[in-house]
Chains A and B, each alone.
Chain A
Amino acid sequence: MSRRFPHQHRQALLLAVGLLLASAALLLLGVSVGSTGAESVRSMWHDAQAMQIVREIRLPRTVGAWLAGALLGLAGAVAQGLFRNPLADPYLLGSASGASLGVASAMALFGVSPLAMHWLARLGLTGAAFVGAVLAVLLTLLLAKGVQHTLRLLLAGVIVGVVLGAITSLILLLTPEIMQAMQSFMLGSTGFVGWTACAVMAAVLAFSVLAAWMMSHVLDGLALGEATAQSLGLRLPQMRVALVAVLALATGTAVAQTGLIAFVGLAAPHLVRSVVKTTHGRLTVLAALMGAVLLSAADILARWLVAPQELPVGVLTAVLGGGYLLWLMHRHTGRGAGL
């Protein structure tokens, strides 16, 4: 395909290079932004505390924001291809509400029952979020009776989302002490990301990118309609299960480490598509890069705008991603072309 469209191939490559350069710049910027500013970086060679702040806090959270953004961008591209729906986002199958419920119940039970403490100490909040996200997706699949029926899957995802969300709200109402902490989870935060979290996210990202790349021809086929995809000889049932698994794994990992970060998964693929028209293989990789850049930028702003306090990063991703997308949309419609 690339030989037939050399122009688009080159464009995709340019975008990838551009995004990687932006990532490098953001990494440098991320290391020098925080409660004490760039002064920590300048003094880090002779000040152990500054070194620690840079090495153990700023670096992992900057890298973590990049990785989480990449996971969400990738998941968004897979979701939109899989459901053939431009509004699909990574949280569609209920993983967001599942993760919230996991975290809320963990926090509500913590400090109440000794038995729960024992299990929670092993699982941790991250574990609770991940388990919640995965269970919610499984519940969606169960309610939809498998992955074959796109519409049924979407509806089941919405139902699971609403019901689990309601249970979370109920828990919050009954234990108001956890409301504040829960809000910081719902709006996302990279403040808890250490090197272990980065390693987990990097491993999952590598696996997901590889898997999505290998199965991208299915998404290309699906773009032509299910009947056509079937007639092309694609093994749709198995491939769909595998793609849903990738989607759930990528989203669950990102959500568990950083909370519910809004809009990155939805906006990243659209931002890529507005620049280049390409196949799903490249789109997923580019969307991952785009998501990474978007979340890194938002995270740096979140730390910098009101330092030494912090803004919830989810608010900024919504404003940044949403604003940019809106601008693109209007620019395109102004010229008479849809997004």
Chain B
Amino acid sequence: MKQALLFLLLTGCAALMPARALQLLDDRGVSVSFSQSPQRIVSLLPSLTESVCAMDQCQRLVGVDRYSNYPASVRRLPVLGGGLDPNIEGIVALRPDVVLLATSSRASQRLESLGIKVVALEPKSHADVRRVLKKIGVLLDIPEALGAARLWRVIDTSVSAAAQSLSPKARNVRVYFEVNRGPYAAGESSFIGETLTRLGVRNVVPASLGPFPRLNPEFVVRANPDVIMVGSRSMQAMASYPGWGSIKAVREQRICVFGVDEADVVVRPGPRMAEAARLMAKCLEDKAR
């Protein structure tokens, strides 16, 4: 009751004072200022699109990149190329108040020179997701208690719940997570690795190797993981690596393949991280039997 009142009060205030200036330091270290919270937003990164929508501000999005496919409502929006090859003209034509993109995108300078405000954010770890949510909350002018902090609390408790749901047998395993064919692995320091750590399982790829190292396949044979998780793009099921037959996970068929939609959830550092943790927990529990 108290919270509902607070919410009414706050939203009422926000409606009464639409022109509140705000300032934001983005991940490039550039300070961007707005005379009021942007109402027309273009997002060129799927995880940022999801973050905006997670704050119930989906209606402010006027355009997205071609990889943004969640929630379903963003699929109706104009598609403005990809983060690496955005359709600058299309973006300008939409007259957005701000463009959200990754720091690696080359579009920032071009858009800024055309007089469009740009906020570059790059979530790479759990801490980054929290920070990015906070910044998007500031940008959207959503009180922290109702936006970023609430979302993060939900994510955090859901991940903990997923971890607690695991039986001791499912938790006591060593996991190898293959992000892509190469083999490129998700190490302990990647956000996928962080989720695995939160779930209480051990990752066979130590943090010292970096977030997504390209491994020698025999490293995995030597590490002998109990469970292997792969995205379907890695094609583990179709073309295994030579000599992997002896790995415990392969021998006992303990391989989880995440389909295209599931892989989107698992590999995106955004508000659906809790769902990713649940997917991984489900895999661990299934394969523990």
Contact = CB atoms under 8 A, between A and B. Distances in A.
Interface string B224-263: 1000000111110011011101100000000000011001
Interface in B43-84: 66-67, 82, 84
B265 to A, nearest CB: 13
Interface in A155-199: 173-174, 176-178, 180-181, 184, 189, 191-195, 197
B241 A191 contact: yes
A103 B180 CA distance: 14
Contacts of A309: 209, 213-216
A100 to B, nearest CB: 14
A41 to B, nearest CB: 12
Contact of B215 (A35, A56, A112, A126): A35
A303 interface: yes
Contacts of B259: 111
Interface string A107-138: 10011100000001100111000000000000
A49 B216 contact: no
Contact of A111 (B218, B246, B260): B260
B182 A36 contact: no
B85 interface: yes
Nearest to A191: B217
B28 interface: no
A192 B241 contact: yes
A58 B246 CA distance: 15
Q: Among B213, B238, B246, B259, find the residue whose CB has the most chain A CB atoms closer than 10 A.
A: B238
Contact of A173 (B85, B181, B183, B218): B85
Contacts of B234: 181
Contact of B216 (A34, A173, A180, A197): A34
A194 B218 CA distance: 12
Contacts of B232: 110-111
B239 A303 contact: no
B149 to A, nearest CB: 32
B66 to A, nearest CB: 7
Interface in B186-245: 209, 213-219, 221-222, 224, 231-235, 238-239, 241-243, 245
B277 interface: no
Given A60-B242, A125-B238, A192-B242, 10 more contacts: A35-B219, A36-B218, A48-B246, A53-B218, A176-B67, A181-B181, A191-B216, A194-B242, A303-B216, A310-B216
23 contacts: A35-B216, A35-B218, A35-B222, A36-B218, A52-B243, A57-B241, A58-B218, A60-B242, A60-B243, A111-B232, A125-B238, A125-B239, A173-B85, A177-B231, A180-B180, A180-B181, A191-B217, A191-B241, A193-B242, A194-B243, A195-B242, A308-B219, A310-B215
Interface of A: 34-36, 48-49, 52-53, 55-58, 60-61, 107, 110-112, 120-121, 124-126, 173-174, 176-178, 180-181, 184, 189, 191-195, 197, 303, 307-310
